[in-house]
Amino acid sequence: MSSVSKSHCTHPTAAVACSQNAVKAGFKRPDTRQRLAATRPANPSKTHEPNLISVDDPWTFQAPLLLPGDDLSEDPEYPPQSFQEWLDEEDRNPVSARRKTIYVVTTPEIEDEVQFMRTWEKSVNEKHQVTKPSPTAILDYLQAFYHGLPVKTLSRLATAFTAWDEEPKQPRKSRQPKYVALKFGNDCVRIRIRASPDGIYGGQLNLDDLLDAAMAILPKDAYALLLLVNQDLYEDDDDEFVCGRAYGASRVAVVSSSRYTPVLDEYQSVERLHAWPASHCESYMSMCCTASRSDPKRQKKSESKASSKSKETTSISSSPLMAAISIYRDLETIDLSPSALSTLWLGRVCRTAAHELGHCFGIDHCVYYACAMQGTASIREDARQPPFLCPVDLAKLTYATGTTAAQRYKALLKFCDRPQYRECLFFAPFAEWIRKLVAATSQ
């Protein structure tokens, strides 16, 4: 599945059903009736607007891919969370007039006492001058994604990494201490650090400690807080790395940008040719499911179902999915300019930041559709998942934020259509997906 031989996917057909690996994994997707019911409260009222848009149009909202090794392939019985189950969740934090602001803490400064950390922000594979994701741009994206609620930087509280005062003296030959501190105002939280196991970065920060720091920073008027860092992360001793996590009930999340840089795609086996929306390429999905080909009957059944669905659906070529794929294929995907790589990096971080904040709203991992709230088992799977919310999770979010789907899509389209993003592999296809969806629903 190397992506170095050609500049874009040329396969002609897309698939909207789960891959044939879903049967092998034992995944049973909720049926149409169950998916529709999952978007509604048990006792619908006139005051509830579930924003049901194309609930059963697979060319707008596709089934989860379930390629081998994907999160749902490894845990096919992960329980679905309907709108009503989300509404009844005891740990869910309702938005209130007193507590409704989403705060973003931008990347902390690095003080001279821990200047060795400055080298951690560049990977050993760095070959291009790629600009790190702009915290301002991430904030703007989140303002659109969570339209209806204020999203602000926590500008009144400066944060910085500094030395941990209680650090025991290290031998002179020791390259780095065991801890650093995250300083905010007059307070500090100890952060464990370690060398990167794969050697890609000079060191890593402990994610659990950063989440503890985020809880300590959380203002009283905050609904949720997102802490952004440039450094690589780990959670457990067995981890090679992690990209982020949320303590949903505690309303805090931490996201690192480090592993999303496109300069690591080849090293991390990220299939840039078939990132979303090209991840729904039928040939690519079949290639990923080679192990399932030992059962010809199963493969034939899966393919004939997709073919039959294609014949029943009108105007597939102008559907949100195919429109997004068309834009994606028109853009170079391999030898991108530094600016194009930079915006791709930004898009990946934006998607993860939106996902982790979704957990702060009590939204669980999605099993209904390909969705921004799906769980991910790898950085490779992460690149294959869409930036949009499925109808079930969209109903939850619009209920929480008090906005409508139309207003939210308008805000997202305005962001994705910015001139600097019109050739971005992430934002340009997303803009076209939104455009086609809005056009279809306004007819």
For domain 101-263, give the fold.
Answer: Collagenase (Catalytic Domain) (3.40.390)
Task: Give the integer Cα–Cα distance in Å for 431 and 303.
Answer: 29
pLDDT of residue 48: 55
Listed range (133-147, 312-326, 343-357, 421-435) with the worst mean pLDDT: 312-326
Which tokens go with 177? 């201490």
Percent of the chain residues topping a pLDDT of 70: 86
Distance of CA 131 to the CA centre of its chain: 20
* Max CA distance (Å), the chain: 72
Reported as a single tens digit per residue, the pLDDT across 173-187 is 556 799 999 999 889
The larger pLDDT score, comparing residue 137 to residue 170, is at 137
Rounded-to-10 torsion of CA 350, 356, 358, 360: -140
Question: What confidence tens digit (pLDDT) does each residue in 337-349 have?
Answer: 888 999 999 999 9
Q: Rounded mean pLDDT of the chain?
A: 88
Confidence of residue 49 (pLDDT cuts 50, 70, 90): low
- The pLDDT score that the predictor gives to residue 112 is 95
Indicate if the pLDDT at residue 309 is higher than 90: no
Residues of the chain with CATH 3.40.390: 101-263
How does pLDDT run across 341-390, given as a tens digit for each residue?
999 999 999 999 999 999 999 999 999 999 999 999 999 999 999 999 99
Instruction: Say what the pTM is.
Output: 0.91
How long, in residues, is the chain?
443
> For residue 122, what pLDDT band results from cuts at 50, 70 and 90?
confident
Which range has the worst mean pLDDT, 19-33, 149-163, 263-277, 305-319? 305-319
C-alpha–C-alpha distance, residues 224 and 83, integer Å: 20
What is the arithmetic mean of pLDDT over 220-225? 96
Query: Quick one: pLDDT at residue 127?
Result: 64
Highest mean pLDDT among 161-165, 312-316, 362-366: 362-366
> Could you write out the DSSP letters of every residue in 345-409?
HHHHHHHHHHHHHHHHTT-----SSS-TT---SSHHHHHHS-SSPPHHHHHHHHHHH---HHHHH
Q: What is the pLDDT of residues 246-282, one digit of tens each?
A: 999 999 999 999 999 999 999 999 988 999 999 999 9
Instruction: Reply yes or no on whether the pLDDT at 4 is more than 50.
Output: no
CA distance 197 to 212: 23
Q: Which residues contact 172 (CB under 8 A, 6 or more apart)?
A: none
